[in-house]
Amino acid sequence: RPAGGAPAPAGLGARGAGSAPAGLGTRPAPSATAGRPAAASTANTFSTAWLAANPAPDLGLRAQSLVVVDLDSRQVLLARDMHTKRAPASLTKMLTAMVVADLASLDLEVTVPKAATEIEPDVMGLSEGEVVTVRTLLYGLFLDSGNDAAETLSRTLVSRERFLGLMNAKAARLGMSDSRFVNPSGLDEPGHRSTAYDLALAAGALAAHYPALLEIAGTREKPIAATAVHKAFDPFNLNKLLWTYPGATGLKTGYTDDAGGCVTATASRGDRRLVTVVLGADLFFTEASRALDYGFGTARRP
């Protein structure tokens, strides 16, 4: 569970690369390192027309929920209980990262607050008072699935309460109507829920509009040297598909007791881009691979 206590004041710990971070009641300034999603949620939907006309064979998949979507045609190719609300585990961090990119330059430096280091499991291994860039924290967020990185980001750019409000506002703008986020990390907590369909919407938005985040999420490992203000870090990506699945580009893994094994996997072959979301599966990498194989085996532009 995320640690309790009062949220940090807005902007606490942020310093230097340019002006203070946007987001304190004003529209964020454009960033050279991250794009902006479309504002209209009504346009951000996937069609099930192709799926209705092409029932999928039994692929032997055991996930509680899953979906495969062609991101170019925006057609659902495969689905099981894709609108059932479930614990999303660390797939939550896709929303966390997009809100961060909306608020601040990835080169902004922030100071790690004590509350962020008290999260268990912390994973990235941050220490109170270390000064790190937002970019460094995002490597820890995506590769290590660092809960301490998520909490640091949610507490230093604006207040934690406001950050969570921005996450839910972002979800609403993306059309994620069955999602609610009550922490930035994805740790099990009452009311923290999403669906395979909604998480595919988030993945599609990230892949299309946040190239810097997709690049980070697709990095296998990223040694970060020590400086005078922080220790060395060695983020190593938990997403095994980046090594084993041809064309894999990301995106995020997750596991909690409530959620089980989860993955949002993006992959490209030629100019075709697919995403699969697998929730509640013991062999979630295997299931994601099979689901993507099926998707790539369908008509090129359904």
Q: Which residues are catalytic?
A: 90, 93, 145
Neighbours of 277 (CB within 10 A): 32
Contact 38, 44 (CB under 8 A): yes
Q: What whole-number distance in Å separates Cα of residue 294 and Cα of residue 278? A: 14
Two tokens, residue 181: 């986020």
69: β partners: 76, 275
Rg of the Cα atoms in the chain: 18
Contact 262, 280 (CB under 8 A): yes
Q: What whole-number distance in Å separates Cα of residue 270 and Cα of residue 207? A: 16
Task: Find the DSSP H helices in the chain.
Answer: 49-53, 93-103, 114-117, 134-142, 147-156, 160-173, 196-209, 211-217, 241-244, 284-297
Q: What whole-number distance in Å separates Cα of residue 233 and Cα of residue 213? A: 19
